[in-house]
């Protein structure tokens, strides 16, 4: 496995490999790798002849007061895990390499995808997704992957990246991989490390709430409003006041009041101590229930 730090080194390393690879897979990460990341890397390894992983804590997607400086970092461990997952090339730049002095360009996605849910100005805000889109666009230009892999837990992020790739004509497929969960249903996240023992005990209520809403709609034919009410009850029982708990069209993120023949995204975000946790599931129209706990594989 080769590790490069600069854009010039990345291009130089890719040039001879690109000629022989049947397909190039890119897995963008901010490090602090966990079983969710490893699922992305395995998916890339299964589909692509060359697997590239980026390792970069992107400062432009953090708002003032967020955890940019304290975000978990352990490069040696990340590189060991990447090597074990079969990664061929790791791009691990510093901030100055990605955003050199005088950098003044940003990618902004309109169309209602970046100003709701996490992008609501009262929450993380649309600038979060502008930062994500900008760094991913740079990675697409640098790596020129055939397929880029993202997790379904960050459903809004995957939608934003897919729209950006479509609108800017990047010739890349955006592949999504099922959320990986702990045995009790908690979606695996790097920020789970912030949870105290007491908070960790309450955190699975997020997946239970989504499961309750999903079951109410898919099995009982309940309205979206009734399903969200039941989900909120689960959160309240765990002492969690959600930042949001919403049903949205899974492709446009417009509010969903019923299935209406289209997939519905159930999404939740909540703060537990230092950790801001998100989770989501998608209900497909005319399909049976899929338990949030059963989505993906539990972490070891």
CA dihedral 52, 147, 29, 63 (to 10 degrees): 140
Task: Please give the structure tokens belonging to residue 247.
Answer: 């049903």
Label the pairing between strands 275-283 and 264-272.
antiparallel
Residues 6+ apart with CB under 8 A from 235: 205, 206, 209, 241, 242, 245, 268, 270
CA atoms within 13 A on the CB side of 73: 11
Is the Cβ–Cβ distance between 250 and 282 less than 8 Å?
A: yes
Annotated active-site residue in 34, 35, 37, 130: 37
Q: Closest Cα to residue 37, out of 50, 46, 45, 28? A: 28
Whole-number Cα distances in Å, 64 to 67, 69, 154, 158, 283: 9, 11, 21, 23, 34
Would you call 34 a catalytic residue per the annotation?
no
Does residue 175 sit in helix, strand or coil?
strand
Known catalytic residues are 37
């Amino acid at each position: 496995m080769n590790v490069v730090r600069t854009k010039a080194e990345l291009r130089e390393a890719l040039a001879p490999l690109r000629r022989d690879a049947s397909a190039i897979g890119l897995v963008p990460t901010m490090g602090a790798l966990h079983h969710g990341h490893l699922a992305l890397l395995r998916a890339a390894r299964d589909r692509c002849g060359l697997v590239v992983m980026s390792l970069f804590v992107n400062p432009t997607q953090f708002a003032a007061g967020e955890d940019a400086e304290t975000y978990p970092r352990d490069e040696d461990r990340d590189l060991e895990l990447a090597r074990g997952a079969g990664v061929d090339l790791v791009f691990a730049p510093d901030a100055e390499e990605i955003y050199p002095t005088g950098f003044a360009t940003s990618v902004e996605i309109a169309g209602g995808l970046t100003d709701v849910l996490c992008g609501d100005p009262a929450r993380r805000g649309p600038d979060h997704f502008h930062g994500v889109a900008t760094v991913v666009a740079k990675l697409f230009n640098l790596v020129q992957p055939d397929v880029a892999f993202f997790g379904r837990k960050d459903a809004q992020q995957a939608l934003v990246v897919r729209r950006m790739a479509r609108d800017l004509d990047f010739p890349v497929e955006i592949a999504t991989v099922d959320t990986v969960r702990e045995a009790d249903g908690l979606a695996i996240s790097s920020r789970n490390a912030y949870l105290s023992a007491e908070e960790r005990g309450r955190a699975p209520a997020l997946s239970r709430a989504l499961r309750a809403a999903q079951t109410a709609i898919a099995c009982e034919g309940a309205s979206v409003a009734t399903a969200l009410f039941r989900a909120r009850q689960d959160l309240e029982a765990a002492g969690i006041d959600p930042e949001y708990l919403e049903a949205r069209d899974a492709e446009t993120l417009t509010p969903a009041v019923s299935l209406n023949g289209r997939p519905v995204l159930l999404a939740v975000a909540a703060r537990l101590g230092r950790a801001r946790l998100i989770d989501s599931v998608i209900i497909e129209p005319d399909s049976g229930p899929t338990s949030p706990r059963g989505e993906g594989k539990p972490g070891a």
